[in-house]
Amino acid sequence: MSEIFSENLSQNTDNVKFYMETQTRNPSFNMPYEHSHDILEFYFLRKGQCDYMVNGSYVKLTAGDVMIIAPHDRHSTCYTGKMPSERVVIYINMNALPACFIEQFSAIRTFSARSNRIAVVKSGILALEDLFRRFSHEQISPGSSPDDLLKIYIIELFLILQDKGQLINDTFVPQLGTDATVEQALQIINNDYASHISLESMASNFGLNPAYFSWKFKRSTGHTFKEYLNNVRIRTAMHKLLVTDDSITKIALACGFSSSNYFKDVFRRLNGCSPREYRRRATVSSKFGSGTTQD
């Protein structure tokens, strides 16, 4: 039933208010086309790995990641890795939510304004799983007022994201329309950001002069090679700071930085605060843990 629902969703959403589906995808699954619809899509990757395409660009997701797909944004998925992936999708008709709720909570306007990834702390993932269980039960065995109860669950969903989630402003990797050499370089950065990558080594990989490759890269992306690489590494680090208890030094090295001091300098320059402060703010605001970290 869920497969039929998702296939027909882009054609008719007039009667859709709220609907949840859970599916397991093999690594070979690749949605061959981007589709869109006029309702909001909440996507949770329970396990596995996925390349999520939005408007011709993509971002890599791992287990525990949340994506919010804004209405009318084109999107598709490609599952990667060696093991099957499992995802939960909730389709949300924003017009079916009380206007007073949307007005009262700024987070719902923020989350629904544009497609983006949201990092959720551990306690938030537990809260989401509990919500999924109750939502599924009501959807399968509806009570006397199923629409009202599902509406309450959707409101609870946004409150969980507001209380225990953090928007991650990813650098989406262009999928089409980019210089072929630069597109390959972006793929390499996205996949191998944790390894030793330099402008010189990347240019050599394509048999190009570093200065010429640097010019091509900035013309296509609007960023220098180093800016783009650091951005990908920092966005990954921000996610790890929220969803793991790893020390700042361990995260720095895992994201490809040669030292924790350099990582802290780049992090502060891009975010206006230290990694420790970023984690503390997130954990305090989500009422998760004491906000203390290890260097």
pLDDT tens column, 187-207: 888 788 899 999 999 999 999
User: Is residue 62 packed enough to be buried (19+ CB in 10 Å), middle (13-18) or exposed (0-12)?
Assistant: middle
Does residue 193 share a domain with residue 154?
no
Question: How many domains is the chain built from?
Answer: 2
In angstroms, the Cα distances linking 237 to 52, 158, 243, 294 are: 19, 24, 10, 15
Residues 60 and 43 in one domain: yes
The Cα–Cα gap between 90 and 50 comes to: 17
Contact 118, 68 (CB under 8 A): yes
* Domain assignment of residue 295, yes or no: no
State residue 170's pLDDT score.
58
User: Does the residue 99 lie in any domain?
Assistant: yes
pLDDT in tens, 279-288: 887 665 544 3
Mean pLDDT on 172-199: 78
Q: Based on the domain organization, do 230 and 129 belong to the same domain?
A: no
Each residue's pLDDT tens digit, 230-245 = 988 988 888 788 778 8
Q: Domain check: are 133 and 184 in the same one?
A: no
- Say what the pLDDT of residue 252 is: 95
Amino acid at residue number 265: D
Answer whether residue 136 shows pLDDT above 60.
yes
Does 142 share its domain with 94? yes
Q: Are residues 226 and 156 in the same domain?
A: no
- For 100-114, write each residue's pLDDT tens digit: 888 887 777 878 888
Is residue 202 located within the same domain as residue 140? no
Angle between helices 180-192 and 210-221 (to 10 degrees): 90
State residue 32's pLDDT score.
63
pLDDT at 295: 46
- What's 263's domain CATH number? 1.10.10.60
Tell me the pLDDT tens digit for each residue of 65-106: 999 999 888 888 888 888 899 999 999 998 888 888 888 877
Boundary of a domain, candidates 168, 188, 208:
168
- In the numeric block, which tokens belong to residue 217? 């890269």
pTM of the model: 0.68
Strand order in the sheet with 66-69: 18-25, 85-92, 40-47, 66-69, 116-120, 165-168
CA distance 117 to 64: 11
- What range does the domain containing 72 cover? 2-168
